[in-house]
């Protein structure tokens, strides 16, 4: 097979890139190692920045999102057993976020891709990418029990944190910057109405907790747990009791979450990682293949989307003008935004979680920062601008 752009991975990055290129008349083939059901059901992100929402609209895949997505104009921060609201539009000059699950974004993109006839192969596992330093890179993959090849002008690795495309960038030019955290999240999906109509991020003596949602009838809830936690040590009753304890506030001592059937429960490690550069020759990296953030800032999916917007613009520019100027700037353009999101995700994470080695002094510093955020318009605006998303490109 032969195409202009070979895309590896059908997560949000790969699928949106294929759509943006098709809208500009550029051919692509997407290869995805998993089957369609697996890709569509993977529980992940829930928050779309304004720029992501705008991008999905202009790509023509926002019809269901505009019907089912929930616009959120703020979040609650809870600490010291009291609650405080940040009003995003007031703090950012009108920006907000949308709650619409990644599973739904992916379903919308896949159905549009298949009905639009853009080649997308499931259960096509890429083994290697060769010839990154040539103008005809080659992708080797396994499909229907046979090894096959795809020849391209460009290859884009949208194959996530455990992908193989990164290996096409020689170790001598590649640097990975990493940080791990001494805690994980236990996430549940529950058939229970959300506790509140916005997200609640909680700092407590017992550790961090987050109340999010998927719909007016489905809650998505997270608890900080030690690394290595086995989810079977957390029967449903224990999860609900712990959530109640962490979200407790003095103004409403009888307050409890509404409980419901728990349909999924998993432990997620927290990591920060950035691989530089995000381009080598004719191979580009986008989304989690190049960088990951701890989920506290809700940035991963949004960064994947902003990478492919920058890349699609650059490929279209090259096609229309013959100039590689934007492609040459791709890595630097993306990395500026990536590092901002890394810093924001790191600050949200370390401000809200309880490090097992934390001293009483460290806790006082966290509380001081939280008080600053809710009492200073400047500090609140800094958080709100980062959360709702900075301009792309």
- The site for ligand PHB (CB under 6 A) is made up of 45-47, 199, 212, 220, 295-296, 298
- Of the candidate residues 5, 7, 11, 318, the single one contacting ligand RFL (CB under 6 A): 11
| Unique residue bearing structure tokens 């104009």 | 73
* Nearest distance from C-beta of residue 378 to ligand PHB, angstroms: 22
d(CA 167, CA 90): 45
Q: Please choose which of ligand RFL, ligand PHB, none residue 19 contacts, taking the beta carbon within 5 to 8 angstroms, the exact cut-off set by kind.
A: none
Contact letters for ligand RFL, residues 172-211 (x by CB under 6 A)? ---------------x------------------------
| Unique residue bearing structure tokens 């409403």 | 252
Which residue in 282, 322, 320, 317 sits closest to 393, CA to CA? 317
Q: Please choose which of ligand PHB, ligand RFL, none residue 304 contacts, taking the beta carbon within 5 to 8 angstroms, the exact cut-off set by kind.
A: ligand RFL
The verdict on whether omega for the bond into residue 277 sits within 30 degrees of 0, i.e. cis, is yes
Residues with a catalytic annotation lie at: 72, 201, 295, 299, 387
Contact 221, 247 (CB under 8 A): no
d(CA 7, CA 139): 10
Which residue in 323, 312, 393 sits closest to 26, CA to CA? 312
Nearer to ligand PHB (CB atom), residue 31 or residue 221: 221
Q: Please choose which of ligand RFL, ligand PHB, none residue 34 contacts, taking the beta carbon within 5 to 8 angstroms, the exact cut-off set by kind.
A: ligand RFL
Nearer to ligand PHB (CB atom), residue 6 or residue 295: 295
Nearer to ligand PHB (CB atom), residue 18 or residue 199: 199
Contact 25, 315 (CB under 8 A): no
Q: Collapsing DSSP states into helix, strand and coil, what is residue 363? A: helix
Of residues 302-341, those binding ligand RFL (CB under 6 A): 302, 304
Nearer to ligand PHB (CB atom), residue 8 or residue 188: 188
Q: Please choose which of ligand PHB, ligand RFL, none residue 296 contacts, taking the beta carbon within 5 to 8 angstroms, the exact cut-off set by kind.
A: ligand PHB
d(CA 38, CA 384): 34
d(CA 18, CA 327): 17
- Of the candidate residues 111, 125, 215, 347, the single one contacting ligand RFL (CB under 6 A): 125
* Nearest distance from C-beta of residue 232 to ligand PHB, angstroms: 22
d(CA 260, CA 234): 15
- Of the candidate residues 28, 102, 219, 345, the single one contacting ligand RFL (CB under 6 A): 102
Nearer to ligand PHB (CB atom), residue 134 or residue 191: 191
Q: In this chain, which residue has its C-beta nearest to ligand PHB?
A: 46
d(CA 331, CA 108): 28
d(CA 380, CA 361): 23
Beta bridge partners of 125: 142
How many residues interact with ligand RFL (rule CB under 6 A)?
35
Instruction: Tell me how crowded residue 53 is: count the other CB atoms within 10 A of its CB.
Output: 22
Contact letters for ligand RFL, residues 139-178 (x by CB under 6 A)? -------------------xxx--xx--------------
Q: Which stretch binds ligand RFL (CB under 6 A): 11-19, 67-75, 82-90, 256-264?
A: 11-19
Q: Which stretch binds ligand RFL (CB under 6 A): 25-33, 232-240, 353-361, 383-391?
A: 25-33
- Radius of gyration for the alpha carbons in the chain, expressed in angstroms and rounded: 21
Nearer to ligand RFL (CB atom), residue 128 or residue 323: 128
| Unique residue bearing structure tokens 């995700």 | 345
Give me the helix-helix angle, 325-352 and 360-375, nearest 10°: 120
Residue 279, Cα to own-chain centre: how many angstroms?
20
Q: Record the tokens describing residue 342, joined without a space.
A: 């890394």
Q: Please choose which of ligand PHB, ligand RFL, none residue 220 contacts, taking the beta carbon within 5 to 8 angstroms, the exact cut-off set by kind.
A: ligand PHB
Using CB under 6 A as the binding rule, whether residue 392 contacts ligand RFL is answered as no
Q: Which residues bind ligand RFL (CB under 6 A)?
A: 8-14, 31-34, 39, 44-47, 102, 125-126, 158-160, 163-164, 187, 268, 287-288, 295, 298-302, 304
């Amino acid at each position: 097979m032969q195409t202009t752009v070979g895309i590896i991975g059908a997560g949000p990055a790969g699928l949106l890139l294929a759509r943006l290129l098709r809208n500009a008349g550029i051919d692509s083939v997407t290869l995805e190692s998993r089957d369609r059901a697996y890709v569509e059901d993977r529980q992940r992100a829930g928050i779309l920045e304004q720029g992501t929402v705008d991008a999905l609209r202009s790509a023509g895949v926002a019809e269901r999102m505009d019907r089912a997505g929930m616009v959120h104009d703020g979040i609650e921060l809870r600490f010291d057993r009291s609650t405080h609201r940040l009003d995003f539009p007031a703090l950012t000059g009108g920006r907000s976020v949308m709650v619409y699950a990644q599973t739904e974004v992916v379903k919308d993109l896949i159905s549009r891709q298949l009905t639009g006839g853009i080649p997308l192969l499931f259960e096509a596992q890429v083994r290697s990418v060769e010839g990154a330093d040539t103008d005809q890179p080659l992708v080797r993959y396994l499909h229907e029990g046979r090894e096959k090849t795809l020849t391209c002008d460009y290859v884009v690795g949208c194959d996530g944190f455990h992908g193989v495309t990164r290996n096409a960038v020689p170790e001598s030019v590649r640097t990975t910057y990493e940080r791990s955290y001494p805690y994980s999240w236990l996430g549940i999906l529950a058939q229970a109405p959300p506790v509140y109509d916005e997200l609640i991020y909680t700092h407590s003596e017992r550790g961090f907790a987050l109340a999010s949602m998927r719909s007016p009838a489905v809650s998505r809830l997270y608890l900080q747990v030690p690394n290595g936690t086995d989810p079977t040590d957390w029967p449903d009753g224990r999860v609900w009791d712990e959530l109640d304890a962490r979200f407790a506030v003095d103004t409403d001592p009888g307050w409890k979450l509404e409980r419901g059937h728990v349909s999924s429960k998993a432990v997620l490690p927290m990591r920060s990682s950035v691989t530089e550069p995000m381009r080598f020759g004719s191979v580009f990296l986008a989304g989690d293949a190049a960088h990951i953030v701890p989920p506290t800032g809700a940035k991963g999916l949004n960064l994947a989307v902003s990478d492919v917007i920058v890349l699609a613009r650059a490929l279209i520019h090259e096609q229309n003008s013959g100039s590689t100027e934007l492609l040459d700037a791709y890595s630097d353009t993306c990395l500026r935004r990536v590092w901002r999101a890394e810093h924001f995700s790191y600050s949200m994470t370390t401000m809200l979680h309880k490090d097992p080695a934390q001293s009483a002094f460290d806790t006082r510093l966290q509380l001081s920062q939280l008080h600053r955020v809710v009492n200073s318009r400047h500090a609140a605006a800094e958080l709100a601008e980062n959360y709702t998303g900075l301009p792309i490109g």
